[in-house]
């Protein structure tokens, strides 16, 4: 379906524009959001909305604007996205990763789903408001953060620490990875609204040993000690741990599909969730995945130390279990250093804001079944939670059953359906006008 209204046309065009501005975050402080931040400022200024860039480090740029509501005595709502994207290996892609072209009804390029699509929907919506002189019922704080893809150190966490006044009076927030459709048995469409996030503990393991010549026996080899620890962690079978959100989701899945709901073992229902099964499966337990190794400098030299990075994620309420298990698995001569740690989040699937989300989806899709879910990753809602702001994932998209949405996140040939995006901006606008 071709975008027909100015709102829809702009959502598509802005998404393309944003993708065409590489804002790659390489981690370890190496990123640059300035060009894309300046685009956002100009896009808002064009319709008379004033915004400000907050630079946490050279090139690390955040943008914030406040749209005054009809009743500023009401608690405000933060509508936020991040401007950075993960790196790409262009050789793996079938198109230029930053082309932003529309091919086969999809907008292609890094950031198409994570998360320049939502950034575009936000901008298109508030530009429409400005053109029509619409004033929301309460204050809306627009925040476009840097560095979300590397722990938010230069983004939302820095903003919350250095500029908490910008979010004064706000009690709720919405952002990425929520409100997307998943087709289950019988063709029924669940719309997954994110009400919980796993916590994050990225840790560095360092093994010590005896350095020496590669040709001699060495029973204190640091690399051996490290790899044995990494293997134990990587193959560990974590116990099932079900949060309130997971139980609520699977109860609705069972109701929608007519399958049996067994609270003692929810895994049989995973197959009903299509492309979302892999991500949702990771929310049934803690996880710890080895992601990086660093050791040695020459083929015939046994190093005196070796290190690895582990990406740990914990279910709300089970952080201690994750940490204690890792300690028990690493063995002697290996130490743990925290690289990044952030809390788990979980809020009820109820209240006026949730009702507004559900109603906005149902207005566009009368057969929709809105459901809560626990996200296996994390968002900038974690930082805003430090200010007592309750966050949800709500960047709506209607997706075809055969579109593997989850594979798009950080994946090769990332793309978003044009029709899904135009559906999403209509839903988002309706939601924001009723929230």
Residues 111-126: what's their mean pLDDT? 97
In a domain, 157, yes or no: yes
Indicate whether 119 pLDDT > 90: yes
Helices (H), 288-376: 319-330, 352-364
Instruction: Give the closest residue to 192 by CA, choosing from 210, 206, 183, 180.
Output: 180
In a domain, 315, yes or no: yes
Same domain? 330 vs 234: yes
Cα separation, 80 vs 389, whole angstroms: 12
Output the domain CATH number for residue 419: 3.40.630.10
Question: Per-residue pLDDT tens for 10-56?
Answer: 999 999 999 999 999 999 899 999 999 999 999 999 999 999 999 99
In a domain, 80, yes or no: yes
In a domain, 184, yes or no: no
Question: Per-residue pLDDT tens for 135-174?
Answer: 999 999 999 999 999 889 999 999 999 999 999 999 999 9
Residues 359-386: what's their mean pLDDT? 96
The model's pTM is: 0.92
What pLDDT, on a 0 to 100 scale, did the predictor assign at position 2? 74
In a domain, 349, yes or no: no
Q: Which of 282, 317, 342 is the last residue of a domain?
A: 342
What pLDDT, on a 0 to 100 scale, did the predictor assign at position 185? 81
* DSSP state letter for 275: G
Q: Which of 293, 326, 342 is the last residue of a domain?
A: 342
* Vertex 80 angle, CA 74 and 82, to 5°: 165
- DSSP E strands in 105-231: the ranges are 106-108, 140-145, 170-175, 180-183, 189-197, 199-208, 212-213
Same domain? 256 vs 337: yes
The domain of 418 spans 6-177+379-432
What pLDDT, on a 0 to 100 scale, did the predictor assign at position 72? 83
| Mean pLDDT of the chain, nearest integer | 96
Q: What does the block give as tokens for 386?
A: 């430090």
**To the nearest whole percent, how much of the chain has pLDDT over 70?**
100
> If phi over 0 gives left and psi between -120 and 50 gives alpha, with beta otherwise, what is residue 121?
alpha
Instruction: Give the closest residue to 370 by CA, choosing from 250, 192, 197.
Output: 192
Same domain? 41 vs 120: yes
Confidence of residue 4 (pLDDT cuts 50, 70, 90): confident
Same domain? 202 vs 257: yes
In a domain, 142, yes or no: yes
* Number of separate domains in the chain: 2
Same domain? 286 vs 336: yes
In a domain, 334, yes or no: yes
> If phi over 0 gives left and psi between -120 and 50 gives alpha, with beta otherwise, what is residue 289?
beta
Instruction: Give the closest residue to 205 by CA, choosing from 98, 294, 102.
Output: 294
Same domain? 172 vs 208: no
Q: What does the block give as tokens for 19?
A: 């993708």
Answer for the pair 307, 206: CB distance below 8 angstroms, yes or no.
Answer: yes
Same domain? 398 vs 331: no
Confidence of residue 268 (pLDDT cuts 50, 70, 90): very high
Same domain? 82 vs 151: yes
In a domain, 364, yes or no: no
Q: What does the block give as tokens for 210?
A: 């005896």
Indicate whether 1 pLDDT > 70: no
Cα separation, 5 vs 196, whole angstroms: 34
Same domain? 222 vs 260: yes
Q: Which of 315, 342, 369 is the last residue of a domain?
A: 342
Contacts of 102 (CB under 8 A, 6+ apart): 12, 16, 108, 418
Same domain? 212 vs 168: no
Contacts of 217 (CB under 8 A, 6+ apart): none
Question: Per-residue pLDDT tens for 323-367?
Answer: 999 999 998 899 999 998 999 999 999 999 999 999 999 999 999
Backbone angles phi, psi at 388, to 5 degrees: 80, 15
Cα separation, 199 vs 188, whole angstroms: 31
What pLDDT, on a 0 to 100 scale, did the predictor assign at position 3? 81
Same domain? 417 vs 274: no
Confidence of residue 386 (pLDDT cuts 50, 70, 90): very high
Indicate whether 126 pLDDT > 80: yes
Instruction: Give the closest residue to 86 by CA, choosing from 14, 151, 27.
Output: 27
Same domain? 155 vs 274: no
Output the domain CATH number for residue 325: 3.30.70.360
């Amino acid at each position: 379906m071709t975008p027909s209204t100015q709102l829809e046309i702009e959502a598509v065009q802005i998404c393309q524009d944003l993708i065409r501005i590489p804002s790659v975050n390489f981690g370890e402080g190496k990123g640059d959001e300035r060009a894309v931040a300046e685009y956002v400022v100009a896009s808002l200024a064009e319709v008379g909305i004033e915004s400000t860039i907050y630079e946490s480090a050279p090139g690390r740029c955040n943008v914030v604007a406040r749209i005054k509501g009809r009743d500023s005595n009401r608690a405000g709502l933060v509508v936020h996205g991040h401007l950075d994207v993960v790196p790409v290996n262009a050789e793996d892609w079938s198109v230029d990763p930053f082309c932003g072209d529309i091919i086969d009804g999809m907008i292609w390029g890094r950031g198409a789903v994570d998360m320049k699509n939502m950034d575009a929907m936000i901008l298109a919506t508030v530009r429409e408001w400005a053109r029509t002189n619409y004033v929301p019922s309460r204050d809306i704080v627009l925040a476009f953060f840097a560095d979300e893809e590397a722990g938010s150190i230069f983004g939302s966490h820095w903003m919350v620490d250095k500029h908490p006044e910008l979010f004064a009076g706000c009690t709720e927030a919405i952002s990425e990875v929520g409100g997307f459709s998943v087709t289950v048995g019988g063709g029924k469409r669940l719309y997954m609204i994110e009400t919980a996030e796993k916590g994050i503990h990225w840790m560095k393991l360092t093994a010590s040993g005896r350095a020496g010549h590669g040709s001699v026996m060495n029973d204190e080899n640091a690399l051996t000690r490290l790899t044995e620890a990494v293997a134990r962690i990587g193959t560990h079978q974590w116990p099932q741990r079900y949060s309130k959100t997971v139980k609520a989701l699977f109860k609705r899945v069972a109701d929608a599909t007519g399958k049996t709901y067994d609270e003692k073992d929810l895994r049989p229902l995973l197959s009903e969730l299509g492309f979302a099964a892999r991500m949702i499966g990771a929310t049934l337990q803690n996880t710890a995945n080895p992601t990086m190794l660093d050791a040695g400098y020459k083929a015939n030299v046994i190093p005196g130390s070796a290190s690895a990075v582990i990406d740990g994620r914990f279910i709300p309420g089970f952080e201690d279990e994750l940490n204690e298990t890792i300690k028990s698995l690493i063995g002697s001569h290996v130490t743990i250093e925290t690289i990044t740690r952030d809390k788990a989040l979980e809020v009820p699937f109820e209240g006026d804001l949730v009702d507004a989300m559900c109603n906005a989806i149902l207005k566009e899709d009368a057969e929709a079944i809105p459901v809560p879910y626990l996200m296996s990753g994390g968002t900038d809602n974690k930082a805003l939670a430090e200010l007592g702001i309750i966050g949800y994932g709500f960047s709506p998209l209607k997706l075809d059953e055969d579109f593997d949405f989850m594979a798009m996140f950080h994946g090769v040939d990332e793309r978003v359906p044009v029709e899904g995006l135009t559906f999403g901006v209509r839903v988002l606008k309706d939601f924001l006008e009723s929230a």
